[in-house]
Structure 1
Amino acid sequence: MTDRTLSASPLPVARSLFVLSLLYGGMTVIAGVLAYKQFAIGPLVVESGILAFLLLVVISSTVSQLHGKAAADRLVLWGFLPLAVSIGLIWLVLALPPSPDMPSENIAAFSLVHGQTPRIMAAGPVAYGVSLLLNVWIFDRLRGRGDGGGFWLMARGAIASAISQAVDTLIFITLAFYGEFPIGNLLVGQAIAKIVLSFVLVPFLIAGAVALARRMDGLQS
């Protein structure tokens, strides 16, 4: 190996890819925590983790649009790292003895929020991996030979998100709760709510994210 090889500068990383990757990792971690609260918009009742999950869809679609499907697939796969580390830390903290000065109601609340059953803990990563990779695949396939921008960019985002969110709901609820109680109504209700949000929010978020990312890369150059 020559001195020239050792001193060679690393390949530059697009600013947008760097920033979006940071946001992506954070959303994989926080999605499970937010899921403990449900909110209602009219007749739709949705667990709050969908907001972080929709941002994962937006970020992965934006990376696919600007940096290619391979980069988006790597982003989804690397997302397992912060997800796994956060799950490991949660288990560790739950196992550690609480401080005697900590109020008992705080201990109970922490355990309630973070003490998920192993079945739910396993269902989350499986649903995440399948649905996000599916989202990237559909989004890329719908692109065609052109740029796939403009209104078609928003339409591709909505279609890919709606399908992947329906699959995510099917996988997660089935793996987490099948056999515990009837899941039919929960499956239908959550799928409808997520599909509606995919068409209402995702197209505009993707268009905004792509525009912002292009602006960041333009400033970088």
Structure 2
Amino acid sequence: MSDTASQAPATSAETASPPGISMPLGLFVFTLLYGGMTVLAGVLAYKQVQLWPTDLAVESGIFAFLLLVVISSTLAQLYGKQMAQRIVWWGFLPLLIASVLMQLVLNLPASPEMLEGRAEDLAAFEQVHSTVWRVWAAGPAAYIVSLLLNIWIFDRLKGSGEASTIGLMVRGALASALSQALDSVIFITLAFYGLFPIMNLLIGQVIAKVALSIVLVPLLITFGVKAAQWLDARKSGQS
């Protein structure tokens, strides 16, 4: 038997990577997106938006956080549960660096030009970012619990064999809905309890996240898987 015939078929990670690099292009791109969304979710969470036509509300960080759910599920589907969990844990790094840089900027003196000509802008910046510390503290607690739960549920529902598109969407919806309901309770309680009545925000957050998890997240996961596979195949064709 020839050497060529005896070689095992290359894995998708190997065929998708150029020589000397072990990371598929899809994994690389989605990891970059993941790091950005971890930071943006904390910043957006400062604003609560109304769920019209009700009086219920939702914190705006939900939009970035749902993308984190989509990305982590996509990674679990294509590259395995352990890889997805690893990305979730490393997601703490951009959060930590961003929080340290924010404190540094808040403690550095403003320029004379800003103090004299844009004092209102400076006051608004400092008011928002100096009071957002509870959001930044609550985020990691809800983040790690809900995303690891999402990956665990998504992986456990996978079963054996090749998953169909419908099966992928159902798994994504169930995992996201359950994990996001728990995330809402943890995050809203830690971030805003005692600052203002949180019941409308908590109810609105749970309803919005569960609804989006059922309606939107399955479609985004399906798109994410297709996009990552396309990136991997494109890199494989260029290598």
Please state whether the residue corresponding to 2:112 is helix, strand or coil. coil
Higher deviation after alignment, 69-78 or 185-194: 185-194
Normalised to the residue count of structure 1, the TM-score between the two structures is: 0.90
Q: 1:136 aligns with which of 140, 146, 151?
A: 151
Conserved 8 A contact 1:33-1:113: no
Q: CA RMSD in A?
A: 1.7
Partner of residue 74, structure 2: 62
Question: Separation in 2 of the partners of 1:48 and 1:180?
Answer: 17
Conserved 8 A contact 2:25-2:232: yes
Question: Separation in 2 of the partners of 1:176 and 1:28?
Answer: 16
Against the structure 1 CA distance between its residues 40 and 173, is the aligned structure 2 distance closer, same or farther, given a 3 Å change threshold?
A: closer
Normalised to the residue count of structure 2, the TM-score between the two structures is: 0.83
Conserved 8 A contact 2:59-2:201: no
Question: Separation in 2 of the partners of 1:36 and 1:176?
Answer: 10
Question: Separation in 1 of the partners of 2:194 and 2:50?
Answer: 27
Q: List aligned pairs for 1:57-136, cutoff 5 A.
A: 57-102=69-114, 103-116=118-131, 118-136=133-151
Conserved 8 A contact 2:45-2:135: no
- Indicate whether 1:34 and 2:49 are aligned: no
Conserved 8 A contact 2:173-2:213: yes
Question: Separation in 2 of the partners of 1:94 and 1:63?
Answer: 36
Q: Deviations over 1:131-186 (max 9, x none)?
A: 11111111111111123331111111111111111111111122223344443333
Partner of residue 176, structure 2: 161
Against the structure 1 CA distance between its residues 13 and 117, is the aligned structure 2 distance closer, same or farther, given a 3 Å change threshold?
A: closer
Please state whether the residue corresponding to 1:32 is helix, strand or coil. helix
Offset of residue 11 of structure 1: 4.6
Offset of residue 30 of structure 1: 0.9
Q: Which amino acid aligns with 1:87?
A: S
Question: Separation in 2 of the partners of 1:11 and 1:212?
Answer: 20
- Indicate whether 1:219 and 2:234 are aligned: yes
| Residue ranges of structure 2 left out of the alignment (5+ in a row) | 1-18
Please state whether the residue corresponding to 1:46 is helix, strand or coil. strand
Greater RCO structure (CA 8 Å; 6+ sep): 2
Partner of residue 12, structure 1: 22
Conserved 8 A contact 2:40-2:64: yes
Q: Percent identity among equivalent residues?
A: 61
Offset of residue 128 of structure 1: 0.8
Against the structure 1 CA distance between its residues 200 and 40, is the aligned structure 2 distance closer, same or farther, given a 3 Å change threshold?
A: farther
Question: Separation in 2 of the partners of 1:184 and 1:115?
Answer: 24
Question: Separation in 2 of the partners of 1:42 and 1:204?
Answer: 24
Q: 2:225 aligns with which of 181, 192, 210?
A: 210
Q: List aligned pairs for 1:136-215, cutoff 5 A.
A: 136-215=151-230
Q: Deviations over 1:179-216 (max 9, x none)?
A: 44443333222111111111121111110010111111
Offset of residue 73 of structure 1: 0.1
Question: Separation in 2 of the partners of 1:181 and 1:40?
Answer: 15
Task: Work out the number of aligned pairs and report it.
Answer: 213
Q: Which amino acid aligns with 2:174?
A: I
Question: Separation in 1 of the partners of 2:135 and 2:152?
Answer: 26
Offset of residue 113 of structure 1: 2.4
Please state whether the residue corresponding to 1:154 is helix, strand or coil. helix
Q: 1:48 aligns with which of 60, 68, 77?
A: 60
| Residue ranges of structure 1 left out of the alignment (5+ in a row) | 1-8
Larger Rg: 2
